[in-house]
C-alpha cells in the first residue's frame, strides 16, 4: 500500500546518487513541516513568548549571586517554555503521519543497496555462544532455479568477536555465499531439526527485503541476515544521520527565509 502511493512520486529520485536523493527528501519534508508550522500557529504570540524566554535568560545571567531570585526567574522561564511547547503541538500532530510514511519509504529504499543479479552475496546466521561447534545447513531455496549456493551448504558454527564500546562480544556465526538471477526467493535453513526461512529480493532496482530477520524462539539462533551493503552517503554516516544533518541545515535556513518562529 505504502509503495503504491509513494513510488510514483519519489521513484525518480532513486536514480540519483543517495546523498542527493536524501538531501532532496530532507528539503521537501522540512519545507512541508515549516509551512505547516507557519500556518497552524499564532506566529505573533509565539514570537512574544520567545522574546519573553530570551528576556528571562538575560535576567538569570544578571542574578547568579541571588539564588532565590534565580529560582523565581527559572520558574517563569519554564512556564513560558511549556506555553511555547503547547503552541508547537498542533503542527506536530498535522505533520506526524506524513513524516512517518515518508520515513518508512526511505528506510525501505535508502538504508541499503540492493542485491544485484549475478552478484555474490553473503547470508550470516548469528547464534548464542552455546551453539559454537555445531552444524547449521542451508537446505534449499524456493524456487531452486535461478539461484546458486556458492559456498558449502553445511557450515560449522564458529566463534566470532563483535567489537562493542566496552570490550568484545563473542557470538556464534555461520556464513553462506550465494548468487542468483533477478527475482524473489526464500532461503531455508535447518538448525537443531527446526526450519527457518528468510525472504530475499535480487533486483537492479533500488529496493530490498528487510535484510535482518530476528529469531526469538528459545533456540541459540538469534538472527538471519542478508548482507546488503549499507548506504553511507555522508562521511560514513547512514541515511538517517545524513537526513538529520540536512534537515537541521534546511530548517534553520527556511525558518529564517519564511520568518517562522
Query: How far is it, in rounded angstroms, from Cα 213 to Cα 137?
Result: 17
Q: CA torsion angle for 235, 238, 241, 247 (degrees, to 10)?
A: 90
* The pLDDT of residue 199: 97
Assess whether pLDDT exceeds 60 at residue 2.
no
User: Regarding beta strands 154-156 and 158-163, do their DSSP bridges make them parallel or antiparallel, or are they unpaired?
Assistant: unpaired
Assess whether pLDDT exceeds 60 at residue 96.
yes
pTM assigned to the model = 0.80
Query: How far is it, in rounded angstroms, from Cα 32 to Cα 101?
Result: 14
Q: Three cell numbers at 6?
A: 509513494
Q: Where are the domains of the chain?
A: 2-7+16-111+238-257, 121-226
List pLDDT tens digits, range 135-149: 999 999 999 899 999
Q: What region does 155 belong to: left with phi over 0, alpha with psi -120 to 50, or beta?
A: beta
List pLDDT tens digits, range 224-254: 999 999 999 999 999 999 999 999 999 999 9
Amino acid at each position: 500500500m505504502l509503495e503504491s502511493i509513494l513510488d510514483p512520486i519519489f521513484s525518480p529520485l532513486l536514480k540519483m546518487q543517495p546523498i542527493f536523493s536524501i538531501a532532496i527528501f530532507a528539503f521537501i519534508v522540512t519545507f512541508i513541516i515549516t509551512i505547516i508550522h507557519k500556518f497552524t500557529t499564532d506566529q505573533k504570540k509565539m514570537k512574544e513568548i520567545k522574546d519573553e524566554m530570551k528576556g528571562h535568560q538575560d535576567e538569570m545571567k544578571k542574578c547568579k549571586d541571588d539564588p532565590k531570585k534565580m529560582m523565581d526567574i527559572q520558574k517563569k522561564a519554564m512556564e513560558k517554555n511549556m506555553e511555547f511547547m503547547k503552541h508547537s503541538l498542533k503542527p506536530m500532530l498535522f505533520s506526524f503521519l506524513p513524516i512517518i510514511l515518508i520515513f518508512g519509504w526511505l528506510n525501505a529504499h535508502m538504508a541499503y543497496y540492493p542485491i544485484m543479479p549475478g552478484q555474490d552475496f553473503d547470508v550470516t546466521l548469528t547464534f548464542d555462544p552455546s551453539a559454537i561447534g555445531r552444524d547449521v545447513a542451508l537446505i534449499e531455496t524456493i524456487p531452486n532455479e535461478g539461484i546458486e549456493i556458492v559456498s558449502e551448504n553445511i557450515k560449522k558454527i564458529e566463534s566470532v568477536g563483535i567489537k562493542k564500546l566496552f570490550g568484545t562480544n563473542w557470538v556464534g556465526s555461520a556464513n553462506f555465499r550465494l548468487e542468483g538471477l533477478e527475482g524473489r526467493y526464500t532461503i531455508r535453513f535447518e538448525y537443531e531439526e527446526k526450519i527457518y526461512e528468510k525472504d530475499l529480493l535480487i533486483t537492479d532496482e533500488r529496493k530490498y527485503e528487510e535484510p535482518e530477520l530476528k529469531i526469538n524462539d528459545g533456540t541459540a539462533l538469534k538472527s538471519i541476515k542478508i548482507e546488503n551493503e549499507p548506504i553511507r552517503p555522508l562521511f560514513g554516516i547512514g541515511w538517517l544521520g545524513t537526513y538529520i544533518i540536512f534537515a537541521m541545515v534546511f530548517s534553520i535556513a527556511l525558518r529564517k527565509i519564511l520568518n517562522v518562529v
